Structure 1
Amino acid sequence: MSQLIETRWTRYGNDRVYVRNQAGDEIGHIDLKEHKVVAKTPGYESSLEECLRRWTSESQSKTPHESPTEVTEGVAPSELPPSAPALTSPSLHPYPTPQPIPAPTDLADNVAGAAAWAERERVNSLAPALNLVARVLGVKTDERSWRVGAKGEEKIARELAKLGPGWHCLHAIEVGDRGSDIDHVGIGPPGVITINTKRHPRGKAWIGERMVMINGQKTDYLRNSRFEAERAAKLLSAACGRSIEVRAAIAFVDLDDFNVKQMPSDVHVTTRRRLLGWLRDLPRVVSDEQVEEIFAVARVSSTWSASPKAFAS
C-alpha cells in the first residue's frame, strides 16, 4: 500500500478511508462502520481488503484510555455518600459523557476532491439505481453535482502541482465542525490564496464587479469566496501569532465562454488555463522563510478547527 494514498473521512456519521493511486485516480474505499470494501477500479480488490484489515486492526489495538466508549467521568459510585443513589442511569449522571478530541492530522496528505467524492458516495448510496438512470439520461442530480465538482477540484490540483519550488498547496481543507471546506490553499511568494473551484461543463460565465453569472443565472460565488478568504486569514493569523493576509480566487473549469466585464476588486476570477499565469505574476510579499512558516501552521488540521476570531495584534 506504500504507493497508494489513503484519506480518512468521518463526516455525517460515516467512517471511511478513500484510496487513490499516485495519479489521484480513485481506487475505491473501505467502510469502517460497515466493515466492507467498495472497489472502483478492477485489480485493486486485494489491496483494499488489506487496507480494511489494517485499519480495523489498528482500531481494535487501541488501549482502553484511547477508546471513547471506555472513558468515564463524574463521581464514581464508590465515592458517593451512603444516602446518595447509585448513578446507574444516564439521566442521573451529573456530567455529560466526554467527547474525544481528535489528534491533529497533516493536511499535506489530503487528496484534492476527497470531501466532494465522499459526499457524492453518501448521496449516491441513498438511491443508487435512480442516480444511475439519471446519469444515463443526463439528468442533473445532487449526485452529479458532487461528482462534477470533485473532478473540477482534481483538475485544478493538477495545475497547482506545476507551480514548482517555492510553493505549497493544500486541498480539501475541512474548516470548523459544520461541514465547510476550502477546495485549495496556495502558499507561496505572493502570500496565501484560497481558491474556490467551480466546474460548469459547456457553461458560460459572466463576471462583473459585484456579480458572477453562470448561463445567465446569478450566483453567490463572490460572497462565498470573500468569506472563505476572510475566515482563513483569521484562523491563520491566530495560529501564527501575527497578521496573515489571504487573497480570494475563483477558478472555473471546462467553460465554453468566459466574459469578464469588470474584475471584482477583492476576488480574482479566472479559468484553469489562466490560473498559473496569474499566480506567477503576483508580486512577492513574503520571504521563503515566511512561506515555510505559514505552511507549517496551515498543514496542521487543528489550525482550521477553531472558531474564527479576529486576530488581535
Structure 2
Amino acid sequence: MEELTVKPWRVPGKWRLYVNKPGVRGDSVAWLDCLSGVVTIDIPEFEAVALARIEEWCRSSGNTVPPRTVRRREEGARSRTKPSASQPQPQPQPQPQPQVSVPFLPPMPDEDDLARNLPGAGLESLVREGEERYSLLVRLAARVSRQRLADMATLRGLEGEQLVGARLEPLKAVGWRVLHGIPLPSGSDIDHVVIGPPGVFTVNSKHHPGATVWVGDKIVKVNRNGFPYLENSEFEARRTARLLTEWCGFEVPVHPVIAVVGAQKITYGATPAVEVVDGEQIASVLAAHQGEFPPNRVDRIFTIARHRHVWSQLGGHGKKSR
C-alpha cells in the first residue's frame, strides 16, 4: 500500500489534518477536524492506515485534540441512463452522501489483538492464576504428574472450549475468521466468535461427557437438570450485535450457538432461537448457513472484533453458566 502523508492546515476558525496519497496533488484519503475530533474517511480501503497516521500525529504534535469519532461515506450504487443525443436531459441535482458516525478505533498493540488467543484462553488464565496460590513444591509435584491444580468443572470447561476451537479451525481455510476467549468487562468471556459470509456467530461450548442432553424451547436439561443456557446465549448474541453494529457502522446480525461436547445423546423437544448442535459438527453446521456478507465486510467485522478495546466498551454485566 502507498505511503501516506499528513499535512496540517489551519486558518482562523478552521484547523484540519489531511492524510493524502503521496505526490504534490495526492488525493485525500481522510481528514481530521482538529477542533471537533471528527475523522472523515474519503477512501475506505485506506481507513486503518489513515487512522493510525492521524493517531500518531495527535500523540507527537503536542496539540490537544478532542477524542476522535469516525465518519465514513456510505457508497451506494446509482443507476444512470445514457442521455439521448436528440433530447437534452435535465442536469441531475447533487445528492448529499449519508454520513455514518462510528467510534474511533485506536491503533492496536500486540497485547490487545484477540486473534492471538488460543481456544480456552479465559479459563486457561483462571487456572494459572489459581495455581499460583499453591506452594512451589505443590506446583512442581503437579507438573511432574501432569495434573492441573483446578476444580474439575473448570478443567472440563477448558477442555470443551479447546475441542470446539479445534473443530472450528478448518473454517479459516475458506475465508472465515475465528476468535476465542473474548474478555468482557464483567469478568466473563465469549468462548468463540466466528465471522463468515453468513454473518457472526457467538459460540458457547458446553462440555458434558457421557450426559443425556434435552433441548426445549426455553431450557436445556443435562441428565434431567435444567440450565439457562438458551437465555444466556441469546443475551450474549444480542449485545454482541449491538456492539459490532455500532463500531462497524452497518447492521451486523449475530446468531447464538451452543456447541455441546461429549454428550452421549442430544434430544430435541423443540427448536429454540438458539442453535444447539453437536460440537463435533460445528464447522459444517455454520458453513451450511446462507451467505450474507461479502469478503470486505467479513474483514471489516474481524478488524473491529479482534480489538480488545472494542469489547472493553461493552456495557452491562453478562450472564454465563459453566
TM-score range, shorter chain: 0.5 to 0.7
1:81-92 to structure 2, matched below 5 A, reads none
1:26-65 to structure 2, matched below 5 A, reads none
Of 165, 169, 182 in structure 2, the residue corresponding to residue 173 of structure 1 is 182
Separation of aligned partners in 1, 2:267 and 2:134: 38
The alpha carbon displacement at 1:125 in A equals 4.6
Separation of aligned partners in 2, 1:202 and 1:294: 37
Paired residue secondary structure (1:202): coil
Unaligned runs of 5+ in 2: 1-107, 317-322
The alpha carbon displacement at 1:208 in A equals 1.0
Q: Which amino acid aligns with 1:167?
A: W
The alpha carbon displacement at 1:142 in A equals 6.5
The alpha carbon displacement at 1:121 in A equals 2.9
Paired residue secondary structure (1:112): coil
Separation of aligned partners in 2, 1:299 and 1:307: 14
Of 111, 114, 121 in structure 2, the residue corresponding to residue 114 of structure 1 is 121
Contact 1:229 1:248 in 2 (8 A): yes
2:318 is the counterpart of 1:304: no
Residue matched to 2:215: 207
Contact 1:226 1:248 in 2 (8 A): yes
Paired residue secondary structure (1:285): coil
Q: TM-score, length-normalised on structure 2?
A: 0.57
2:206 is the counterpart of 1:198: yes
Q: 1:57-114 CA distances to partner (integer Å, 9 max, x unpaired)? A: xxxxxxxxxxxxxxxxxxxxxxxxxxxxxxxxxxxxxxxxxxxxx9671111111111
1:147-162 to structure 2, matched below 5 A, reads 147-162=155-170
Identity %: 33
Contact 2:160 2:207 in 1 (8 A): yes
Q: Which amino acid aligns with 1:207?
A: V
Separation of aligned partners in 1, 2:281 and 2:269: 17
Q: Which amino acid aligns with 1:282?
A: H
Paired residue secondary structure (2:211): strand
Contact 1:113 1:172 in 2 (8 A): yes
Separation of aligned partners in 1, 2:309 and 2:128: 26
Separation of aligned partners in 2, 1:171 and 1:210: 26
Separation of aligned partners in 2, 1:299 and 1:277: 23
2:261 is the counterpart of 1:269: no
The alpha carbon displacement at 1:126 in A equals 4.5
Contact 2:218 2:231 in 1 (8 A): no
Residue matched to 1:105: 112
Contact 1:194 1:246 in 2 (8 A): yes
Q: Which amino acid aligns with 1:187?
A: I
Paired residue secondary structure (1:201): coil
Residue matched to 1:282: 289
Separation of aligned partners in 2, 1:232 and 1:252: 21
* Number of matched pairs: 199
Contact 2:256 2:275 in 1 (8 A): yes
Of 232, 243, 256 in structure 1, the residue corresponding to residue 251 of structure 2 is 243
Residue matched to 2:151: 143
1:9-28 to structure 2, matched below 5 A, reads none
Q: 1:191 to 1:221 in 2, by over 3 A?
A: same
Separation of aligned partners in 1, 2:201 and 2:179: 11
Q: TM-score, length-normalised on structure 1?
A: 0.59
Paired residue secondary structure (2:210): strand
Paired residue secondary structure (1:250): strand
The alpha carbon displacement at 1:143 in A equals 1.5
Separation of aligned partners in 2, 1:162 and 1:259: 27
Q: Which amino acid aligns with 1:289?
A: N
Separation of aligned partners in 2, 1:224 and 1:123: 26
Instruction: Determine which structure has the larger helix proportion and give its number.
Output: 1
Separation of aligned partners in 2, 1:297 and 1:221: 27
Q: Which amino acid aligns with 1:244?
A: V
Separation of aligned partners in 2, 1:142 and 1:216: 26
Paired residue secondary structure (2:277): strand
State which structure, 1 or 2, has the greater radius of gyration over its C-alpha atoms. Answer: 2
What is the aligned-residue RMSD (CA, Å)?
2.5
Of 258, 263, 283 in structure 2, the residue corresponding to residue 255 of structure 1 is 263
Contact 1:201 1:254 in 2 (8 A): yes
